[in-house]
Chains A and B, each alone.
Chain A
Amino acid sequence: MSEASFFVEAPVEAGTSSRGFVLQTLRHQRVAMAAALFLVAVTVTAILAPWIAPYPLHEQVGPVFGAPSWHHLLGLDDGGIDMVTLLIWGLRTSLVVGFAATFVSMVIGGTVGVVAGYFGGGTDTVLMRITDYFLVIPDVPLMIVVAAIWGPSLFHIIIVIGILLWTSTARVIRAQVKSVRERVYVKRARALGAGHTRIVVRHVLPQVAPLLIASTVLTIAVAIFDETALSFLGLGDPSSISLGRVIENAFARAAISTGAWWAIVPPGVLVALLILACSLVGGSLEDALNPRLRVAHLSARTFRLRPLVGRGKDAL
Chain B
Amino acid sequence: MSPLLQVEDLHVWFDLENGGELHAVQGVKLSLEPGERLGLVGESGCGKTTTALAILGLLPPNASVSGRVLLEGDDILAGGEEAMRPHRWVDVAIVFQGAMNALNPVRTIGQQIVEALELHGRAKGATARARTGELLEAVGIPAGRAARFPHELSGGMRQRAAIAMALACNPKVLIADEPTTALDVMVQAQILELLDALCRDFGLALILVTHDLPVVAQLCNRCAVMYAGEIVERGPLEAIYHTPGHPYSRMLFAASPDLAGLDEPVLSIAGAPPRLDRAIEGCPFAPRCDSVFEACVVRPRLEQLAADHDAACHLNSRVPA
Contact = CB atoms under 8 A, between A and B. Distances in A.
A145 to B, nearest CB: 40
A251 interface: no
Contacts of B89: 191-193
A20 interface: no
Contacts of B140: 1, 3-4, 7
A185 B105 CA distance: 9
A206 B58 contact: no
A185 B102 contact: yes
B199 to A, nearest CB: 16
A296 interface: no
Interface residues of A, number: 25
Interface residues of B, number: 37
Contacts of B142: 4, 7, 9
Interface stretch (B19-27, B91-99, B274-282): B91-99
Residue of B58, B104, B115, B148 contacting most chain A CB atoms (<10 Å): B104
Interface stretch (A25-33, A58-66, A195-203): A195-203
Contact of A193 (B86, B102, B148): B86
B258 interface: no
A187 B157 contact: no
A12 to B, nearest CB: 7
B90 interface: yes
B264 to A, nearest CB: 35
A234 interface: no
A187 B58 contact: yes
Interface string A238-264: 000000000000000000000000000
A3 B191 CA distance: 12
B119 interface: yes
Nearest to B112: A185
Interface string B127-162: 000000000000011101100100010000100001
B54 to A, nearest CB: 12
Nearest to A8: B142
Given A185-B102, A193-B85, A7 B93 contact: no
Nearest to B145: A7
A193 B152 contact: no
A301 interface: no
A190 interface: yes
A188 interface: yes
Given A4-B140, A7-B141, A188-B96, A193 B88 contact: yes
Interface string B67-102: 000000000000000000111111001101110011
B56 interface: yes
Nearest to B142: A7
Contacts of B105: 185
Contacts of B5: none
Contacts of B102: 184-185, 187-188
Contacts of B98: 184
B120 interface: yes
Nearest to A207: B106
Contact of A198 (B101, B119, B162): B119
Interface string A1-21: 101100101001000000000
A312 interface: no
B184 to A, nearest CB: 14
B101 A184 contact: yes
A202 B101 contact: no
Given A12-B152, A192-B89, A7 B157 contact: yes
B56 A191 contact: yes
Contacts of B44: none
A80 interface: no
A306 interface: no
Contact of B61 (A1, A120, A202): A120
B292 to A, nearest CB: 40
Residue of A1, A184, A198 contacting most chain B CB atoms (<10 Å): A184
B104 A185 contact: yes
Contacts of B87: 193
Contacts of B119: 192-194, 198
Contacts of B61: 120-121
A183 interface: yes
Contacts of B94: 188, 191
B116 interface: yes
Interface string A205-237: 011000000000000000000000000000000
B103 interface: yes
22 contacts: A3-B140, A3-B190, A4-B140, A4-B142, A7-B145, A12-B148, A120-B61, A184-B96, A185-B101, A187-B96, A187-B102, A188-B94, A190-B88, A191-B88, A191-B94, A192-B116, A193-B86, A195-B85, A198-B119, A202-B104, A206-B104, A207-B106
Interface of A: 1, 3-4, 7, 9, 12, 120-121, 183-185, 187-195, 198, 202-203, 206-207
The 8 nearest A-B residue pairs measured at CB: A184-B101, A193-B88, A185-B104, A184-B102, A193-B85, A206-B106, A3-B140, A188-B102
Given A190-B88, A191-B93, 7 more contacts: A3-B190, A184-B98, A185-B112, A187-B102, A191-B89, A192-B115, A207-B106
